[in-house]
Structure 1
Amino acid sequence: MKTPCKEPRRPEIEYPCSWVYKVIGQDCSLLKDAILDACGTLSVTISHSHSSSGGKYHSLNAELTVHSEESRLAIYESLKASPVVKLVL
């Protein structure tokens, strides 16, 4: 007898909170610009996370305080829509 799959529960996040986006692309400078654009007036700390073995791809961590789910998701969508960003985690 199969048990029905439960829908995944959404995590309960209390705002404001510190949030880190991992942003992956080919050009660190352009990635930094995309992060700054997406975060607008919010203060963000950008740090290098990793580079691929061939040096073609780089990942940056963008850490900031988000004040609401709407803000957190808007930043994510803005990063995802940037042509210089290959992946956002």
Structure 2
Amino acid sequence: MVNINDIEQKLELEYPCNWCYKVVGEEREKLENAIREVIVEREHKIAHSNTSRTGKYISLNLELLVHNEEDRQFIYDALKAHQHVKMVL
């Protein structure tokens, strides 16, 4: 039996491509501002994804065109490092 953790496969993407990040935080307005600070004036779509059962956290889907692996990773890292972002998926 093969353990999924033993398989090292890298996601193969053809760039440029649309990519969706799920961005989690406590306040929608602060999350939207964080996203805009990271992506500046790039064309994007933001849509509500979910609210936690207690209402403390919300998640937004951020969809935009990424140009290459470095671009995709840079956006992920920059969002993750933002003070108003709790998690990025």
Normalised by the size of structure 2, how large is the TM-score? 0.89
Choose 1 or 2 for highest CA Rg. Answer: 1
Q: Which amino acid aligns with 2:23?
A: V
**What residue number does 1:39 align with?**
39
Q: Which amino acid aligns with 1:51?
A: T
**What residue number does 1:12 align with?**
12
Q: How does 1:20-35 map to 2 (within 5 A)?
A: 20-35=20-35
Q: How does 1:1-89 map to 2 (within 5 A)?
A: 6=6, 8-89=8-89
Unaligned runs of at least 5 residues, structure 1: none
Count of residue pairs the alignment pairs up: 86
Deviation at 1:41, TM superposition (A): 2.5
Distance in 1 between residues matched to 2:37 and 2:71, nearest whole Å:
14
Distance in 2 between residues matched to 1:39 and 1:71, nearest whole Å:
10
Aligned-pair identity (%) = 46
Q: Deviations over 1:61-86 (max 9, x none)?
A: 00001111111111001000001111
Deviation at 1:7, TM superposition (A): 5.4
CA RMSD in angstroms comes to: 1.6
